[in-house]
Structure formats: structure tokens, C-alpha cells
Amino acid sequence: MQKEYLTVTNIAGPLMLVEGTEGIKYDEIAEIRLATGEVRRGKVLEINQDKALVQLFEGTTGLNLDQSRVKFLGKGVEFGVSPDILGRVFDGLGRPIDEGPEIIPEEKVDINGLPYNPYARDFPSEFIQTGISAIDAMTTLVRGQKLPIFSGSGLPHNDLAAQIARQAKVVPPLDGEGEKEGAGEKFAVVFGAMGITFEEANFFISDFKKTGAIERTVLFVNLADDPAIERLATPRMALTAAEYLAFNQGMHVLVILSDMTNYCDALREVSAARKEVPGRRGYPGYMYTDLSQIYERAGRLKNKKGSITLIPILSMPEDDKTHPIPDLTGYITEGQILLSREIHHRGIYPPIDVLPSLSRLMQKGIGAGKTRDDHANVTSQLFAAYARGKEAKELAVILGDAALSDVDKKFSSFADKYDNNFVAQGVYEDRSLEKTLAVGWQLLSGLPREELKRVKDKEVEKYMKKK
């Protein structure tokens, strides 16, 4: 029989100290019964001999030291999984908030997950189409990859996240030279929103319902005024749902987490409440380990049909790439997609800056039998031409247009057309990879053939539109 303790000796902010405890474990869930009969939940943050430090999910308002009863449940935070979670909206602790029926779970799973044996992992492979040209062609998303989006305050990362969630899919190769496992079958999206406003939450929910994307989506919503401790559980809830869908139901799952900056700020808040020694900019020294425990739950497992692909989105404070959050994220993940404020101010959506963006696993998911045989070369040529066009524009700013050669002027014009025709697209425009590559070839057709040194002659003859 579980004991109830009446030994609450101190309450400070969201924290409560319980003395005289026995057999309590770190991360264990506690139920606190108030004198009014109300029951709240909390989590054990620290144990010192017979003392347990508990942080409440709902806060400590209304608690008193004499009449509050504390019962420890002997288990951590769990999420009840079932195929019925698809199409549902949950709060940050996995409770339904969409006025639907309660989920009858097949099992309850600890949200911290289980560590995978590295030998059991399979290498990320196969192309995932997002319908966004700047991603599909230039920073290709590969099944099982961790590819973050680095944004900034005021940039449209929420619009981009919703668009990816709506449009992402596994597609067969264009050249028909291979058969992609699971192409067009059983694709799901798990969306974890952390620290967002009420208006943003309504946007995501209404957008997914309006477009029908909600049917294949599991949505977890943690609002800005929800407790910080709940925010720490939200990405783990999302990944627990993803692991069930991927490895129990055999689905290809795309997990989108936004905004990881809000998550890390909550981590700093909890760390400060525990009076831990702060690290860089006040964040705890274990933030790298904490982030890796989240990010490394993505991937593929041998002898498992499903996969988990992860897109964490974070807003860089003051657009600083050296800030601890993007800095540590970059060490753990396989590349980054960078949103540019300068491109955004020019009215281009999505404002993806392709030059500093990178997908380190791109080569594993493109080419003959996966996308198309010219994908790698045309991407390389577009990248080189765009970089040269940007250099020509910078030179013109210093020396004037008269200092540019005719070829440089063509590259300068190419850079403008690339931003306006290739990168720019509508919020609800779902471009196929075939159309994306066709736009790329059309842009390259405006450059002299002798300058196209990264594409093969047979590719030019096959794919470039002849004048």
C-alpha cells in the first residue's frame, strides 16, 4: 500500500520539500491532495536521504504545510499509446484537449524512452519530400535524419512548420530505377508545440483540420502560460508517440518540435529553481546531454519497417548562431536549415538562406533509384551559380554595375531569379520534386553552357529545355 506523507516542510515557487520519505526515486510522480480535495501532480526533482524535492505541474497556489497530503506513485511520467492517438490533440502532459473521448491505451509507456543499442541502428536513407523546393533540392531531408531549422524572432517558422507537416510524404523515385520501401504508405506526423501562444495553438489546430492533415497527425500543445515542468515533458511525449507509431505500427513518422528555445528556457528555469550552478548564459551545464536525449531518439532500427525523422525548430536569440541552443543543437544533429531575416524583409517565403544551410546526409537520400540521377549535380550547379551571383551583386554594390562583365551580370540576374522563382513559393504550394528540378534546370538555361561545369552533357541534353 502506498504511503501518504503529511511532512511537507517548505514551499517555494513551484517547488515543495517533503521530509521523512522512504524508497523514493528520481523522476517519480507524486500526487498532492489539498485540503479542498483537489489533486495535483508533480515530479521528484531531487532526493537527499529522506528528503524529496517535488516540482508541481499545476503550481503550488493554495497549498499549505499542515494539510497537504503527498503520495508517491512509484513510476515516472507515462503516455498511453494506441492507434487511436492519430488525429488527436493533447496537452503537454498527454491529456486530450480536443473534446474527443479518452484514449483507451494498449499500454502505458515511460516518456523517457529506452536507449537503443548503436549496433541495432540502421543508417538514415531514403528521400522525404516536403514540397518545399529549397529543402527538397538543396538541403534534402532523409528518412531517419535529424535536421533542425534555425530561425529568429518574428520569422515565419510556424508557417513553415505547418507547411512541412501538411505536405511531407515518402514518394517513389522519379526515374523508376528502384523501389522505395514504404513509398506512399503509412506516413504520420507528430507535432510538439512548446511555449506557444493561444493564437498560435489555434492556428495549428485549425490549419490541420481545414486541410485534412489532422487525420495523420498527433498534436501536442504546451502553451506559454503552462508550467515549465510540463514544457520539459512535451517533446518526450511527442517522441514516445512517434516510437510507438514507427516501431509498433510500422509507420514512417516525421516529428516536428517547435520551439526548442522555449524548451531550453524552461530547462534553465527549473535549473535555477533547484539552485544549480549555471553554465553558459545561465543554462545548465547538462543541457547538451538533455538535448541529445531528445534528438537521438530519431532514426531507423534494423529489422523494423518504420522510422523516425526529426525536425526541431528553434529561434536563435538575437539571430546569434553561437548562442548555446543552436550551438549545441548543431553538434548533435546532421545539418541545419537557416532562415534569413534579410530574405524575409524582401518578401520571400520561405526565407531559407541556402548558402549556410546544409544537410549532411543528403547524398544518402538522392540519386538514381532514390530521387533522380541528375539530382546531385543540378543541386551542386545551382548552389555554385547562386554563390557566384551573390558575389557579383556584392561587387556591384562596391564598384557599380559597370565593373561587372557580361557573364557576371548573368550570374547576378540568376541570383535574383533563384530567390524569386526557386526559393519563393506559396504557403500552400506543394511542389513535387519533378517540378522543383524542372525549375532549377530552367534557371540554369539562362547561363552560358561553358559556365555549367557541374552537370554532365547527357544531363543537359536530357533535362534542360532547348531554346
pLDDT tens, position by position, 108-159: 999 998 777 889 999 998 999 999 999 999 999 999 999 999 999 999 999 9
Contact 348, 424 (CB under 8 A): yes
d(CA 425, CA 30): 50
355 and 407 share one domain: no
Contact 301, 120 (CB under 8 A): yes
- Predicted confidence (pLDDT) per residue in 285-338, tens digit: 999 999 999 999 999 999 888 999 999 999 999 999 999 999 999 999 999 999
309 and 348 share one domain: yes
pLDDT at 74 over 90: no
Which of 307, 339, 365 is the endpoint of a domain? 365
Angstrom distances, CA of residue 401 to CA of 129, 387, 404, 408: 39, 18, 6, 10
Residue 431 lies in a domain: yes
Q: Give CA 96 to chain center in angstroms.
A: 22
Of 62-66, 327-331, 378-382, 385-389, give the lowest mean pLDDT range. 62-66
CB neighbours of residue 62 within 10 Å = 12
- Predicted confidence (pLDDT) per residue in 406-443, tens digit: 999 999 999 999 999 999 999 999 999 999 999 999 99
CATH code of the domain covering residue 239: 3.40.50.12240
pLDDT (mean) for 33-42:
88
pLDDT at 164 over 50: yes
36 and 183 share one domain: no
In 3D space, the residue among 390, 369, 334, 292 whose CA is nearest the CA of residue 140 turns out to be 334
354 and 387 share one domain: no
Range of the domain at 17: 4-72
- Give me the pLDDT at residue 179, please: 47
- Give me the pLDDT at residue 233, please: 92
Residue 370 lies in a domain: no
Give percent above pLDDT 70 in the chain: 97
- Give me the pLDDT at residue 467, please: 42
pLDDT at 276 over 90: no
d(CA 313, CA 434): 27
- Give me the pLDDT at residue 319, please: 92
Burial zone of 467 (CB within 10 Å; 0-12 exposed, 13-18 middle, 19+ buried): exposed
CATH code of the domain covering residue 66: 2.40.30.20
Contact 45, 276 (CB under 8 A): no
The answer for 126, left when phi > 0, alpha when psi is -120 to 50, beta otherwise, is left
57 and 93 share one domain: no
- Give me the pLDDT at residue 183, please: 46
pLDDT band at 176 (very low <50, low <70, confident <90, very high): low
46 and 86 share one domain: no
pLDDT (mean) for 340-346:
96
Give percent above pLDDT 90 in the chain: 74
Residue 185 lies in a domain: yes
- Give me the pLDDT at residue 400, please: 84
67 and 170 share one domain: no
Residue 9 lies in a domain: yes
Contact 226, 91 (CB under 8 A): yes
163 and 244 share one domain: yes
350 and 399 share one domain: no
In 3D space, the residue among 330, 258, 332 whose CA is nearest the CA of residue 289 turns out to be 332
- Give me the pLDDT at residue 184, please: 45
Instruction: Look at the pTM and tell me if it is higher than 0.85.
Output: yes
For the record, the C-alpha cell of 6 comes out as 503529511
pLDDT at 177 over 70: no
pLDDT band at 185 (very low <50, low <70, confident <90, very high): low
Which of 365, 392, 411 is the endpoint of a domain? 365
For residues 282-319, b (16+ Cβ closer than 10 Å) or e, as one string?
Answer: ebbeebbebbebbbbbbbbbeeebbbbbbbbbbbbeeb
Residue 226 lies in a domain: yes
pLDDT at 403 over 90: no
8 and 141 share one domain: no
d(CA 70, CA 66): 11
Of 84-88, 221-225, 238-242, 460-464, give the lowest mean pLDDT range. 460-464
Mean pLDDT of all residues in the chain?
A: 91
- Give me the pLDDT at residue 370, please: 92
pLDDT at 385 over 70: yes
431 and 333 share one domain: no
56 and 195 share one domain: no
- Give me the pLDDT at residue 163, please: 97
Residue 161 lies in a domain: yes
For the record, the C-alpha cell of 408 comes out as 557576371
Looking at the structure of the chain, the number of domains it has is 3
pLDDT at 63 over 90: no
Q: Which helix (H) or strand (E) holds 247?
A: helix 228-247
- Give me the pLDDT at residue 104, please: 93
Residue 406 lies in a domain: yes
List residues bridging with 463 in a β-sheet: none
Residue 198 lies in a domain: yes
Which of 308, 340, 365 is the endpoint of a domain? 365
- Give me the pLDDT at residue 160, please: 97
pLDDT at 62 over 90: no
pLDDT band at 212 (very low <50, low <70, confident <90, very high): very high
